[in-house]
């Protein structure tokens, strides 16, 4: 049979029910201020890593809360832990600790071990 | 002013104590008001008529030093050595605008063309919308939530008027400078009031105002001395920087310094937001924790002028009921 190169596309729907939100749950438990994020993006605006790479803490926050962890896992090591994001956060989220905890959670988790 | 007018017309003897040289508060510094863009002077004129009544004595440039209660009478001592006896007290100490220099990263007081929303109103009043060097600005940014919804300055609450003020001011800029490019940087557009959403839409459709969703993290200058802001365009998911000629900071509302002193003096309860705490949020928003002391307007929370006047009228009713029944 002629092959036209068609394949099945991976769905891009966030499957909220089956997604793994254990990373976000871990952070929420250890750093409750993570709950207060309103996705304003001040952290990402000031972030040096984010100016040069695909690193947006604002985006990662929401992705982890939705259980879309792959992209976060891929890029999280780009953070240099400088903490500028903590300085600008209007909600007082301990953003730096969110990153530390996310790294920790990925390391602890068997399915995401880096 | 509204409470005084209402009470006077109901037959009460009212003493109005104002710490400034004249009554009218922030209103007299504003130019046009949302939602209908009427002149603030018209509302000021209405309020001045309200207090032009034989039953009202006015003390301006007067500060209260002491307030005590003996039986059912309040004794108020002023810095001019006056003693005022009152059966009931209405606190209407209003608000202070957030001092934008406290948000140092936005450069107010550091860079010439970073101004506050109040400064812009003064420019409108003077009819001069110009940069520090006398030129006309071509690209102007408005930053929402300056001093509101910001843990870093200790204000968690939303000042609620700044979003609509930004939209109103953006339109007013476009009306004066036809080819100006105007950008509003917002976290959320809170367009809850009557006609606000319509004005927002008009700003987009008729005036081409641009709205970028993201909190500005800082303002700086380029090597050419142009203002530059950094923000994440959260909807595009990318950091964004933009050079601007002028940056307008939408200053929020705070409990007034005068109000804070009166709270201390009178043992009046304040809330987490530092404004006076109403005895009940639903049916006692004019009542304080002390019988015979009432609140009117923005000393209890950020409010529009419309709401302030309604709240003041409600305060007058609360006072009358108190005086009649002997209870608060």
Instruction: Write the residue in B213, B216, B239 that is nearest to A44 by C-beta.
Output: B239
Full domain range(s) for residue B237 = 100-252
Looking at the fold, whether B270 and B156 belong to one and the same domain comes out as no
Structural domain tally of chain B?
A: 2
pLDDT surpasses 70 at B33: yes
ipTM of the complex: 0.89
Q: Is B154 on the interface with A (CB under 8 A)?
A: no
Query: Which residue of chain A comes nearest to B154, CA vs CA?
Result: A90
B32 φ/ψ sector (left φ>0, alpha ψ -120 to 50, else beta): beta
Angle B152-A24-B154 from CA coordinates, rounded to 5°: 10
pLDDT surpasses 60 at B327: no
Looking at the fold, whether B193 and B107 belong to one and the same domain comes out as yes
Q: How far apart (Å, rounded) are the C-alpha atoms in residues B61 and B20?
A: 5
> How many residues are present in chain B?
328
Residue that is last in its domain, among B198, B229, B252? B252
Instruction: Write the residue in B145, B151, B230 that is nearest to A46 by C-beta.
Output: B230
Say if A70 falls within a structural domain: yes
Chain A segment 56-75 residues within 8 A of B by beta carbon are 56, 58-59
Structural domain tally of chain A?
A: 1
Say if A75 falls within a structural domain: yes
Residue that is last in its domain, among B234, B252, B270? B252
What distance lies between CA A84 and its chain's CA centroid?
Answer: 17
Instruction: Write the residue in A38, A39, A42 that is nearest to B217 by C-beta.
Output: A42
- How high is the pLDDT of residue B328? 47
Full domain range(s) for residue A86 = 22-108
Cβ contacts of residue A9 below 8 Å, gap of 6+? none
The CATH code of the domain that includes B219 is 3.50.50.60
Q: What is the pLDDT of residues A41-50, one digit of tens each?
A: 999 999 999 9
Q: Is A37 on the interface with B (CB under 8 A)?
A: no
Looking at the fold, whether B142 and B268 belong to one and the same domain comes out as no
CB contact at 8 A, B64 and B265:
yes
Looking at the fold, whether B32 and B47 belong to one and the same domain comes out as yes
Say if A62 falls within a structural domain: yes
- Binary contact (A45, B237; C-beta < 8 A): no
Query: Which residue of chain B comes nearest to A92, CA vs CA?
Result: B151
Q: Which residues of A touch B232 (CB under 8 A)?
A: 41-45, 50, 56, 58
- How high is the pLDDT of residue B134? 97
Kindly give the confidence (pLDDT) of every residue in chain A, 114 residues in length, as a single tens digit, with 9 standing for 90 and above.
788 888 888 888 999 999 999 999 999 999 999 999 999 999 999 999 999 999 999 999 999 999 999 999 999 999 999 999 999 999 999 999 999 999 999 999 877 765
- Binary contact (A41, B231; C-beta < 8 A): yes
Instruction: Write the residue in A41, A51, A92 that is nearest to B214 by C-beta.
Output: A41
The whole-angstrom distance between A85's CA and the closest CA on chain B is: 9
Say if A103 falls within a structural domain: yes
Looking at the fold, whether B210 and B110 belong to one and the same domain comes out as yes
Say if A66 falls within a structural domain: yes
Residue that is last in its domain, among B213, B232, B252? B252
Local structure of residue A8 (DSSP, 8 states): P
Chain B segment 219-258 residues within 8 A of A by beta carbon are 230-234, 237-240
Q: Which residues of B touch A40 (CB under 8 A)?
A: 187, 214-215, 234
Looking at the fold, whether B55 and B199 belong to one and the same domain comes out as no
- How high is the pLDDT of residue A109? 86
């Amino acid at each position: 049979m002629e092959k036209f190169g068609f394949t099945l596309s991976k769905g891009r729907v966030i499957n909220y029910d089956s997604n793994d939100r254990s990373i976000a749950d871990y952070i929420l438990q250890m750093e409750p201020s993570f709950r207060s994020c309103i996705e304003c993006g001040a952290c990402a605006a000031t972030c040096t890593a984010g100016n040069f790479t695909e690193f947006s803490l604002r985006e990662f926050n929401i992705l982890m809360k939705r259980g879309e962890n792959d992209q976060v896992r891929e890029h999280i090591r780009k953070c240099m832990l400088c903490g500028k994001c903590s300085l600008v956060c209007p909600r007082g989220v301990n953003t730096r600790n969110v990153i530390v905890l996310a790294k920790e959670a990925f390391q602890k988790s068997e399915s995401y071990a880096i | 002013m509204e409470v005084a007018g209402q009470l006077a017309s109901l037959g009460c003897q009212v003493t109005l104590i104002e710490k400034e040289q004249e009554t009218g508060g922030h209103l007299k510094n504003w130019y046009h008001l949302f939602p209908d863009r009427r002149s603030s002077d018209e509302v000021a004129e209405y309020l001045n008529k309200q207090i032009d009544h034989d039953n009202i004595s006015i003390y301006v440039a007067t500060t209260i030093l002491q307030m005590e209660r003996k039986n059912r009478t309040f004794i108020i001592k002023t810095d001019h050595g006056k003693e005022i006896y009152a059966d009931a007290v209405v606190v209407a100490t209003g608000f202070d605008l957030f001092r934008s220099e406290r948000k140092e990263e936005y450069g107010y007081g550091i860079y010439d063309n970073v101004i506050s929303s109040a400064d812009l109103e003064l420019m409108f009043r003077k009819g001069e919308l110009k940069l520090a060097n006398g030129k006309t600005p071509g690209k102007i940014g408005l930053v929402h939530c300056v001093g509101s919804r910001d843990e870093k300055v200790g204000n968690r609450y939303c000042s609620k008027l700044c979003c609509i003020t930004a939209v109103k001011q953006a339109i007013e800029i476009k009306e004066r400078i036809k080819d100006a490019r105007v950008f509003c940087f917002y976290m959320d557009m809170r367009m809850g009031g009557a006609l606000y959403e319509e004005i927002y839409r008009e700003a987009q459709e008729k005036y081409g105002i641009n709205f970028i969703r993201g909190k500005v993290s800082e303002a700086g200058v380029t090597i050419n001395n142009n203002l530059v802001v950094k923000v994440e365009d959260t909807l595009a998911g990318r950091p964004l920087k933009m050079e601007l000629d002028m940056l307008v900071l939408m200053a929020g509302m705070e409990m007034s310094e005068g109000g804070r002193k009166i709270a201390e003096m009178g043992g009046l309860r304040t809330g987490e937001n530092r404004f006076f705490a109403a005895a009940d949020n639903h049916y006692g928003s004019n009542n304080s924790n002390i019988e015979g002391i009432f609140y009117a307007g923005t000393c209890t929370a950020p409010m529009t002028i419309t709401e302030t006047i309604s709240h003041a009228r409600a305060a007058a009713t609360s006072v009358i009921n108190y005086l009649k029944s002997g209870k608060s």
